[in-house]
Structures are given as C-alpha cells and as structure tokens.
Amino acid sequence: MTEQLDATTTAVRVRNVSKSFNGITVLSDVSLDIQRGEIVGLIGQNGSGKSTLIKVLSGFHPPDDGAEVYVGDRDVTRSLYEGPSSTGLAFIHQDLALIQSLTILENLRIKQFAIGLGHRIKWKTEEQEVRRILSIVGLDVSPRTKVSDLTVTERALVVIARGLADIEAGESLESRLLVLDEPTAYLPKSGVERLFGVLRRLSEEGISVLFVSHRLDEVLEFCSRAVILRAGRLVADIPTENQTERDLIKLMLGRPPEDMYPDYIEPIGTPVLSVVGLTGEEVSEATFIGNAGEIIGFVGLPGSGYDKISYLIAGALRAVSGSVELHGDQVDASKVNSRKAIAKGIVLLPADRKGSSGATGLKVIENMTIPNIASFTRLGRFIHHRRERSVVNEQIEHFGVSPRRSDALLSTLSGGNQQKVLIGKWVIGEPSVLVLHEPTQGVDVGAKRDVFHHLTALAKAGALILISSVEYDDLASLCTRVHVMSGGRIIRTIEREELNAHELAAAVYAR
C-alpha cells in the first residue's frame, strides 16, 4: 500500500473494493476512510451496492483482486472471514439474529460457555460476564431474561453488546468498527434515540460506527458524514452538516426528488367502510368512515393506538367491541379474524415484512398466491400452475419487481422489491380495503416512490387505502385526511386542505 496510514486517527481504510458476479460488476473501486470515534452513514437506493460492500467487509464475499482493507495499521484484506476478534469489525444486521426462545445469556455465550469440573457450565461466572457486557450499552436486565420478553429496542441493544464483546475479545486491536445494517428499521422513535445515545457514548470511547440506513433524517441527525453509493460506485463522501434530505436524495438517485409523490387524485366518494366504536389493544371507541378512492392515514406517538388500529380493522388483533361495516354489510368487530376479514375484502400488510407479512423462505410466486390459492385450483385440490404463473408474471411486470422471476426466493429480493411482491399478493384478490402499517419501512427512496405510485393507482381504481405511519411527509402528500390518535382515541382529524407535515407533527405532540 503506497499511502501512509495515520494509525492514531484512522480506524478503517478501504481501498479499491470491487465485486463481480458472473461477469457482472456490482461494486466498482469503492474507497473510503472512517476515523476513530466517527459515526458515518452509508446510504444508497436498493441495488446501489451497500449490501455487497457490507458482505465483503464481513468476509461473506471475497473482494475482487486489488482490494485493500486496513483496520488501524493492519492489513486484514485476507483475514476478513476470521471474524471480529481478529479483524476488529463487528456487524449488526436488521434481523438481529437472536433466538427468541433462549435467554440473553444463552444467546450471547452459547459458543463460549466457561466450563468447570465435570464439563459443567459455570453459570455464576457466565451471568457476571453477561451483566458486564450488557452494562456496556446501559442495559439493566437479568441475563436470564428470555429474548422474547424484551422490547425490540432492548433486543437491538443486546445485539450491539454482543458485537462489542466480540471485538473486545481481540485485546491487541487498536481500532474497532461497528457496522449497523438498518438497525432502526423496526424501532420506535424513542428506541432510535436510545440506540444513538449508546452509539454516541461508544464513539466518545474511540469505537467507530458505520451506519447503513434508508432513514435519511437519522443519517443527517446522528452521523458526521454520509457516504453515498449509486450503481455500485461511490458518488459522494460529504459532511452531513448543512445538508438536507433533498440533497442526499439527489445524490442517491442522480436526479432531483420532485417526483417522489404522485399527483393527488380526488377520491371517487362512494362509501366503502364504516367503523364505529372499535375497541381493542391500545384503541378505544375509534369511529371513522372511508370512501372508495381515499387514502386515509392514522398517526400518533407510541402507545397512542395509531399502529394497532390497522390490525384491529383487519382482524389480526381481536377487537373487544365495536362494529365494522363494509359495503353495507355490518359485523361485530369482536368476531372478526384475519380469515373473515380477507373473505370480506379487507387485507393487511404489516410493518414486519419478514416476520409477519411475507414468507422469505418461499418463492415469489408462492408468496403472491397463498391468500388466493383456491382460485388457482382445479377440482378443489390440483393447482393450475400455468394460470398461476401467468397471473403472477403479470403482477411482477405491473409492479416492476426485480428480478422479474417468479421462482426467485423472496429472501433474495431487496426490501423495496419484497414490498412490491407483498402488495401484489393482495392486489390479485382485488380487495375493497387495503390496510398498511409503515408501508415503506426499510425501503430506499426509489422503491418508496414506486410504492406510493402503486398505492395511488389502487385508490384511483376504487380501493380504500388505510395507512398507519409516523412518516409525516408521506401522509401529508398521499392522504385525503389523517386521524391523529392519543390515548387510544382519535383526537383530531386533519382534512386535505389543512394537511402538511408540520401540522401533523404539531398535532401528534400537542398536549
């Protein structure tokens, strides 16, 4: 390496990292530096090369010839696969990789239990060690707590603690880097602030952070620099100070973001859904009406019920009382489950894309036709595969899913393309009401634009769209009206003529 490394300040230096698959270059000569104690954002739309770069740094993919990766003053290019204690690089992924049925202790120490006489585990020693590890991230919970009993924020902190313990094991390492890949995708706002409070404290201790995210507001607020990839190339490495989300989007897309939202379309106006006195988990006496062609939003703080109302309407959570009327057919809300809701034309797209919405281990075609498989069967049991493929291929083409292969596993698609598949899944059944919770969570700005245009097209065709979200700009640009919730109740409804992001935020935080 010809450049002289400054081992006193440079934590990681990446040079000329390229990666090709079957002759197709997906990452081209990427070079960047990360200083000690620096929090750097890595952004780019799906397909930009972010995931490939992370997989190269983690040792999952070997880089093409000519690449160099230095941690401090050590060349780790050929030893990336050896793991955190050897390289000083630890990786925290969006899915967190925790076994929920096991305790925190078991998740953190399962590969390295301290063994005593008779090959017995030294549980007291292990518990002390796990308490020490958790204290690094300020987490005061019993090591014997099951992961399933933790909040999503606490689980994220457990994984960060595990990553820190891994790089801590390399005592001789002079530089350490935490790579967080979409860690805030499923966190509430309070969880995001808590997470970054921990990261800032770690940065003050000299640990560097590479923060991969689609949330540009978080990159601007918490990162000192933004590294931007487009089409496999690094197109910008800039300080975040004085930058705006619009600036970053322009660099990510290579064009201004003016066409992010489709033109607003006046709804058709025919009554479709009437909800009266809906009561259930975190929701009390919710009443509203939805018409064909409308996009209606629900917003609020955590615990306000804005995110639970979607699941109650669609029968994914059982209501205690209230009524739901669809096209004049009224039913007791407490008797509605998911199966009955789907049969009546009310379908739900949950925020948890991998856990609740899609089956990542199944193919695209299987994900798209599961809810309506009966319509593709002959004699009640034989699947008409040719017709099934024809319908799915039509949806793949319509929604612009990439790759355009019905036999691809859902897990191999980007977040944005997974979301297109899952919207297409419900469109096949021609629902009257499409209910969505955070529909663009964990997808890039390019995919967000596509999702918004598809939702607007569905509304134009006569569907009623209900969106629970805390994305104020999205709601203000898409919705006919937005219901603001607090304490489980709808406390205010903001109509189109008053709708803007500032008004929504003010209503949500008003006391």
The model's pLDDT over 231-246, given as tens digits with 9 standing for 90+, comes to 889 999 999 999 998 8
The model's pLDDT over 477-493, given as tens digits with 9 standing for 90+, comes to 999 999 999 999 999 99
Checking if the pLDDT of 1 tops 60, the result is no
Q: Map residue 213 onto helix, strand or coil.
A: coil
The model's pLDDT over 133-173, given as tens digits with 9 standing for 90+, comes to 898 888 889 989 998 998 888 888 888 888 888 887 666 67
Question: Which has more confidence, 414 or 155?
Answer: 155
Closest CA to 301 of 472, 156, 476, 497: 472
Checking if the pLDDT of 373 tops 90, the result is no
The model's pLDDT over 118-130, given as tens digits with 9 standing for 90+, comes to 667 777 888 888 8
- Strands across the sheet containing 464-468: 346-349, 433-437, 464-468, 295-300, 481-486, 489-495
Checking if the pLDDT of 33 tops 90, the result is yes
What is the token pair recorded at 361?
């281990």
Checking if the pLDDT of 7 tops 50, the result is no
CATH class, 259-345+433-443+460-511 region: alpha beta
Alpha carbons 82 and 89: distance in angstroms, whole number: 10
Alpha carbons 126 and 334: distance in angstroms, whole number: 47
CB atoms within 10 A of CB 231: 15
Alpha carbons 123 and 104: distance in angstroms, whole number: 13
121 DSSP 8-state letter: B
- Buried (b) or exposed (e) across 409-437, using 16+ Cβ within 10 A? ebeebbbbbbbbbbbbbbbbeebbbbbbb
- At residue 5, the pLDDT reads 42
pTM of the model: 0.65
CATH class, 10-96+165-253 region: alpha beta
Alpha carbons 357 and 186: distance in angstroms, whole number: 14
Distance between start and end Cα atoms, the chain: 59
Q: Determine phi and psi for 506, rounding to 5 degrees.
A: -65, -40
Checking if the pLDDT of 8 tops 70, the result is no
- At residue 3, the pLDDT reads 45
The answer to whether 392 and 400 have CB atoms below 8 angstroms apart is no
Q: Amino acid identity, residue 112? A: Q
Place of tokens 């995919």: 447
The model's pLDDT over 493-507, given as tens digits with 9 standing for 90+, comes to 999 999 998 899 889
Checking if the pLDDT of 511 tops 60, the result is no
pLDDT, average across residues 418-438: 87
The model's pLDDT over 198-209, given as tens digits with 9 standing for 90+, comes to 889 889 988 999
pLDDT, average across residues 18-44: 91
The model's pLDDT over 257-307, given as tens digits with 9 standing for 90+, comes to 667 788 888 887 788 999 999 999 999 999 999 999 999 999 998 789 999
Q: Is 293 exposed, middle or buried (0-12, 13-18, 19+ CB in 10 A)?
A: buried
Checking if the pLDDT of 51 tops 90, the result is no
Residues of the chain with CATH 3.40.50.300: 10-96+165-253, 259-345+433-443+460-511
Checking if the pLDDT of 374 tops 80, the result is no
Q: Alpha helix locations (H) across 169-215?
A: 189-204
Q: How far is CA 231 from the centre of its chain?
A: 21
What is the token pair recorded at 128?
């002390």
